[in-house]
Chain A
Amino acid sequence: MKNLMTVLVAAAMLAACAPDKPQVAETGGSKKSAVEEVIDPTKGIGQVKNVTLHNPLDGERVQRGLDIYEMKCSACHRLTDERVVGPGFKDVTKRRKPEWIMNMITNVDVMLDEDPVAQELLELCLMRMPNQNVSIGDARDILEFMRKNDGEQ
């Protein structure tokens, strides 16, 4: 009995000290710092703090964005306003800040857990958007493609 107590106490101590490792490993170090640093809540949570947009659009970026869209996004997102698995892309660049869009793409697990807008969308779609392993640079290309899709020149 005494031994059992020792084990239980030790286990309780371990449990208290040790965070849920797999989760921490998945979300990485960006979690804590991002929450503190991002001032504008409409920019979402993640490494993307400020995006400067240019016109006219960068044609090469648009093409690369289209290619990534077709490989990694098109299974769930239409280019119209039709929702299939996820919302349609139409007018997303008018509804959301560019930073929010790029954070949603590159830091989706944290966004779904903590960003109020992302959480609303999850309630609507009932399907966690998958982490598609998109780099920040690739997300910027997708953003450029979305702007094109929304009629920017």
Chain B
Amino acid sequence: MNTKINRIVLSLGVLVVLLIGYGCKPKGPATVTTGDAASKVYVAPGQYDEFYNIVSGGFNGQMAIYGIPSGRLFKILPVFSVFPESGYGYSEETKPMLNTSHGFVPWDDLHHIALSTTKGEHDGRWAFGNGNNTPRVARVDLTTFRTAEILEIPNSGGNHSSPFITENTEYLVAGTRFSVPMGENRDVPISSYKENFKGSISFIKVNPETGRMNIEFQLRTPGFNYDLSRAGKGPSHGWFFFSCYNTEQAYTLLEQNASRNDKDFIMAVNWKKAEEYLAQGKGKKEKAKYAHNVYDEKTHMATSTMLDEVTVLDVMEFPDIVYFIPCPKSPHGCDVDPSGEYIVGSGKLAALMPVFSFSKFQTAIQQKDYEGDFSGIPVIRYEAALHGEVKKPGLGPLHTEFDANGNAYTSFFVSSEIVKWNVKTLEILDRVPTYYSIGHLSVPGGPTAKPHGKYVIAYNKITKDRYLPTGPELTQSAQLYSIEGDKMQLLLDFPTTGEPHYAEAIPASLIRDKSVKIYPIEHNEHPYAAKGEKMARVERKGKEVHVYMTAIRSHLTPDNIEGIRVGDEVYFHVTNLEQDWDVPHGFAIKGATNAEILIMPGETQTLKWEPKEVGVIPFYCTDFCSALHQEMSGYARVSPANSNTPIKFSTGDTGGQK
């Protein structure tokens, strides 16, 4: 009897443990999706995906392009990191793209994507990304899927709250994650943080025609950490919202010391007001050194310009530009709903999520409903700006995206789930587990005034057992959920490259038909282009040897080169004469200490080669181009440094053959 009772108790105990386990932790990898998931993500051979998913690569410094709903990877798009596969950062033309005030920086940490918008909606023109480590913002042209421009951000200790975007792509922002000493006196004790450290928010103006970026002005702000941001839209257009943490102003062991305050801030910036002050000449010109790199599609070449000045407005002197709204416990996400009325703050350590009302916030400003100030900047009374709180939403809220039906989707890192809730009623509607520990999430059009909905994609931080193991380092795991019904439904796992942070998804129809297929050779203005084999040649200028080479299926011209000497700098300027889509040629030469180059149809790219020893050195096309691709090759003869072998070049000349 006793044994039996014991057994029952034991069984119950096991059951309870199991239930607890079930409740707290997502199910393991054996979890299967429900019946029709496969058909919802199946894109038949030759068919196209409905959405492009433009995904940050995190520590690989790149973007990656996926199709949704299939999760197929289409392209890795190099932005802040060298990419030997295409020669980005290795070819003479692309090296200037990675120039900075610190010199050539071949890597960065790309966290956030911002797609260009018009009237708050995706327009499919550009994708912007931030370089978190050596502060930079990049613009990618969505007709070529190439990095077109990189702008360095001075007065920044790490460009994390960036490159969030206003509804007509007027501005991108770049807020410093770490406050640092700025101006003339920067050699100060770290312990003088409160006195000497400042924040800085750059407003980058985007030319509406060309997309060209310039730092229009910088706001000098109180010294703490600026984390994430969103622009207002609709009624709140003209404002920007930034999540701030470390209002404790800690400079060591932030894990503890920056987690003491019950509330940090959301900083609301009235950028139209800032524009007024600038128009009145209130901005101060300050010295600052930063690089501006632009790629020209006609010369197929990047140029890097070093700039030396920024215009600064110190918000402590113009307190009506900026207001603080208290927000619980180290807020991370700071997301504005499609209507522009609601601002969601996600305190990483908070047990609730406040939703602020833009109209109540405006009333609070009018009535000066403040609870104090911080460095002379008004702090709005929390309740005065509050629409309401989402109670017990989950653990560790990070980011929120929206659908077109008034619902919000928030990622929870600690409890590893996505929670769907209603923005107006604050009622929790559904929750699904993610595998494991979701960071960012993306709903197509989720940050815009007109979400496209249909899916939410989770970008998870931990992969563990989701895929076949590949040693200690695993691919990062993304997951696709349907949000078409009342209940979210897991459809697909797909692996991603680098470590995705934020991503955006956009209907393929907004991009697909604008895609560039070739560069017209008639428009090639590269100074070393050989527009036709007749122009192929080799020229010596002192130690430099310039090879004007052409590539077409399936030969390189010239393919016999003599007269190169040890110690020369040889530049292979390869022009691809093809004018058909998807016929790139590649070029590689034995012993080159950089990389290969890939040359698109109509383009010219240059590989530098410094031969170290005497011999006849083969070179070849690296991109399989035709039935006779293996024949697409040539020889360069390298003579001793003091030789007088004359420059000689040819293709198809067999006169010397015995």
Contacts and interface: CB of A to CB of B under 8 A. Distances in A.
B531 interface: yes
B518 interface: yes
A7 B42 contact: yes
A98 to B, nearest CB: 22
Nearest to A73: B532
A7 B577 contact: no
Contacts of A10: 39
Given A20-B46, A22-B46, A70 B534 contact: yes
Contacts of A15: 44-45
B613 interface: no
Given A18-B47, A76-B552, A71 B652 contact: no
Contact of A7 (B38, B48, B522, B580): B38
A49 to B, nearest CB: 24
Interface string A12-32: 001100101110001000000
Contacts of A76: 552
B555 A132 contact: no
A72 B534 CA distance: 11
Contact of A130 (B550, B579, B628): B579
Nearest to A84: B652
Contacts of A153: none
Contact of A126 (B46, B533, B581, B627): B627
Given A21-B47, A76-B552, A132 B652 contact: no
A132 B579 contact: yes
B35 interface: yes
Given A7-B42, A84-B652, 7 more contacts: A6-B39, A75-B552, A75-B555, A127-B553, A131-B580, A133-B518, A133-B580
A71 B531 contact: yes
Interface of A: 3, 6-7, 10-11, 14-15, 18, 20-22, 26, 70-72, 74-76, 84-85, 126-128, 130-134
A18 B44 contact: yes
Contacts of A85: 552-555
B44 A75 contact: no
The 9 closest A-B pairs by CB, nearest first: A133-B579, A70-B532, A131-B580, A71-B532, A132-B579, A75-B552, A75-B533, A130-B580, A71-B531
A146 B45 CA distance: 43
Interface size band for B = 35 or more
B521 interface: yes
B39 A75 contact: no
A85 B557 CA distance: 13
A134 B580 CA distance: 10
B48 A130 contact: no
A70 B557 CA distance: 13
Interface in B366-417: none
A33 B436 CA distance: 55
Contacts of B38: 3, 7
Contacts of B521: 71-72
Contacts of B552: 75-76, 85, 130
19 contacts: A3-B38, A7-B38, A7-B39, A7-B42, A11-B44, A14-B47, A26-B581, A70-B531, A74-B532, A74-B534, A75-B552, A84-B652, A85-B555, A126-B627, A130-B578, A130-B580, A130-B583, A131-B581, A132-B580
Nearest to B530: A71
B36 A127 contact: no
A134 B42 CA distance: 38
B520 interface: yes
B594 interface: no
Given A7-B42, A71-B521, A72-B579, A127 B626 contact: yes
Given A130-B578, A130-B583, A75 B550 contact: yes
A3 to B, nearest CB: 5
Contacts of A6: 39
A22 B48 CA distance: 10
B537 to A, nearest CB: 14
A15 B554 CA distance: 35
B44 A14 contact: yes
Contacts of A7: 38-39, 42
Contacts of A133: 518, 520, 579-580
Interface string B27-60: 0000000011011001011111000000000000
A10 B310 CA distance: 60
Given A75-B532, A85-B554, A21 B578 contact: no
Contacts of A72: 521, 532, 577, 579
Contacts of A130: 552-553, 578-580, 583
A11 B534 contact: no
A18 B47 CA distance: 8
Nearest to A70: B532
Nearest to B44: A14
Contacts of A132: 578-580
Interface string B605-643: 000000000000000000000111000000000000000
B530 to A, nearest CB: 10
Contacts of B555: 75, 85
A132 B42 CA distance: 36
A128 B579 CA distance: 13
A85 B632 CA distance: 12
Contact of A18 (B42, B46, B522): B46
Of B42, B46, B521, B522, which is in contact with the most chain A CB atoms at under 10 Å from its CB?
A: B46
A140 B35 CA distance: 59
Nearest to A134: B579
Contact of B577 (A11, A14, A71, A134): A71
B166 to A, nearest CB: 36
Contacts of A22: 46
Nearest to A15: B44
Which of A3, A71, A72, A85 has most chain B Cβ within 10 Å? A71
A14 B44 CA distance: 8
Interface in B577-600: 577-581, 583
B47 A71 contact: no
A1 to B, nearest CB: 12
A84 B552 CA distance: 13
Contacts of A26: 581
A132 B45 CA distance: 28
A20 B48 CA distance: 11
A10 B44 CA distance: 10
A127 B554 contact: yes
B46 A3 contact: no
Nearest to A10: B39
Given A3-B36, A3-B38, A75 B579 contact: no
Nearest to B35: A3
Contact of B48 (A21, A126, A127, A128): A21
A5 B376 CA distance: 69
A133 B521 CA distance: 10
Contacts of B557: 75
